[in-house]
């Protein structure tokens, strides 16, 4: 049974995502110790530094999605099932930095599909609780673990279906965010395919740094950030960094 990590990375006019990818891959190699496949386009690939043995899959990203008015090529996650060469796949956002090996052990589980349903705001403000306005429990598609089987293929088929009819489903589920977010896609798909009852989730919250935090230092062990006049840091704890200016650190 093969297993590996699948990452999506597309540079945009405003953000050199390949720089974030390079940091992410170094930590995955150190702490997850699995084969890595990067889904990218040729333009982005040409800018990447050599990173050792990595599989690449080239696709042209679907355009049109934006975040804070800037191009945001994040809508290809629904193809993870087809693009992954592995029997068990850990899909991660490239801005999720594995400073620990906590995710590594998930490969040893027997679950078909696992997704986190809570995030921990590292600034202590509970910023992410606002999503409760929606009528369904939300998930964080930042990290997904799935096995290739018929049940999981149907989950991804449902994600594709909801993506096709996104505006209808966001109205139905009282989701007011207008851009396409994988978190919402997967939350809606999982509820639909699982008969409107629960599904299996990660037993921990994703440590997340909100976008208004400025990352001041990042090493292979941890990260420090500035928020207002406060500087904080964590070590040996995974962190999902929402501020894309991390490219410049």
Residues in 168-187 that interact with other proteins by CB under 8 A = none
Q: Which of 12, 66, 123, 127 binds other proteins (CB under 8 A)?
A: 123
Buried b (16+ CB within 10 A) or exposed e, 33-69: ebbbbbbbbeebeeebeeeeebeeeeeebeeeeebee
Q: How many Å apart are CA 192 and CA 187, to the nearest integer?
A: 9
Contact (Cβ atoms closer than 8 angstroms) between residue 240 and residue 208: yes
Task: Please identify, using beta-carbon distances, which residue of 9 and 223 lies nearer to other proteins.
Answer: 223
- Closer residue to other proteins in complex, CB, 234/247: 234
- CA distance to 18, 38, 133, per residue, from 21 (Å): 5, 9, 33
Smallest distance, other proteins to C-beta of residue 41, A? 34
Q: Compute the least distance from the CB of residue 115 to other proteins, in Å.
A: 11
- Work out whether 207 is an interface residue with other proteins (CB under 8 A): yes
Q: Which residues contact 162 (CB under 8 A, 6 or more apart)?
A: 169, 185, 188, 189, 192
Paired with 226 in beta bridges are 214, 231
Residues 6+ apart with CB under 8 A from 198: none
Size of the site for other proteins (CB under 8 A): 24
What is the closest distance, in whole angstroms, from the C-beta atom of residue 49 to other proteins in the complex?
30
The H or E element containing residue 22 is: helix 17-27
The yes or no reply on residue 109 touching other proteins (CB under 8 A) is yes
Touching other proteins, residues 229-248 (CB under 8 A): 230, 232, 234, 236-238
Rounded Cα distance between 75 and 218, Å, is 28
CA distance 158 to 193: 7
Q: For the chain, how many residues are written? A: 249
Give me the least distance between CB of 127 and other proteins, in Å please: 13
Q: Can residue 197 be called a binding residue for other proteins (CB under 8 A)? A: no
Q: How far is the CB of 214 from other proteins (least distance, A)?
A: 16
Least gap, CB of 213 to other proteins (angstroms)? 12
Q: Does 100 bind other proteins (CB under 8 A)?
A: yes
- Among residues 13, 52, 69, 108, which is the contact residue for other proteins, using CB under 8 A? 108
Task: Beginning with the edge strand found earlier in the chain, give each strand of the sheet holding 214-218 in spatial order.
Answer: 214-218, 222-227, 230-235
201 binds other proteins (CB under 8 A): yes
* By the rule CB under 8 A, 110 interacts with other proteins: yes
Our finding on whether 111 is near other proteins (CB under 8 A) is yes
Interface ranges with other proteins (CB under 8 A): 100, 102, 105-106, 108-111, 120, 122-124, 200-201, 203-205, 207, 230, 232, 234, 236-238
């Amino acid at each position: 049974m093969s297993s590996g990590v699948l990452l999506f990375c597309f540079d945009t006019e405003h953000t050199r995502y390949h720089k974030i990818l390079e940091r992410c891959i170094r930590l995955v190699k150190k702490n997850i110790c699995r084969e890595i496949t990067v889904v990218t386009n040729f333009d982005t690939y040409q800018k990447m530094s050599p990173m050792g043995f990595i599989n690449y899959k080239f696709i042209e990203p679907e355009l049109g999605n934006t975040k804070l008015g800037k191009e945001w090529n994040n809508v290809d996650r629904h193809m993870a099932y087809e693009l992954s060469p592995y029997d068990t796949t850990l899909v991660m956002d490239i801005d999720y930095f594995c400073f620990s090996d906590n995710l590594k052990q998930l490969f040893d589980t027997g679950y078909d599909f696992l997704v986190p349903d809570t995030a921990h705001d590292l600034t202590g403000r509970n910023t992410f609780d606002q999503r409760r306005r929606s009528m369904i429990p939300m998930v964080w598609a930042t990290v997904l673990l799935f096995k290739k089987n018929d049940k999981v293929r149907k989950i991804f088929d449902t994600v594709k279906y909801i993506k096709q009819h996104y505006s209808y489903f966001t109205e139905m589920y009282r989701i007011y965010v207008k851009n396409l977010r994988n978190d919402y896609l997967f939350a809606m798909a999982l509820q639909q395919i699982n008969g409107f009852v629960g599904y299996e989730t990660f037993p921990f919250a994703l440590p997340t740094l909100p976008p208004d935090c400025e990352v001041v230092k990042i090493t292979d062990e941890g990260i420090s950030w500035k928020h207002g006049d406060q500087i904080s840091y964590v070590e040996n704890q995974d962190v999902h960094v929402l501020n894309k200016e991390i490219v410049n650190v």
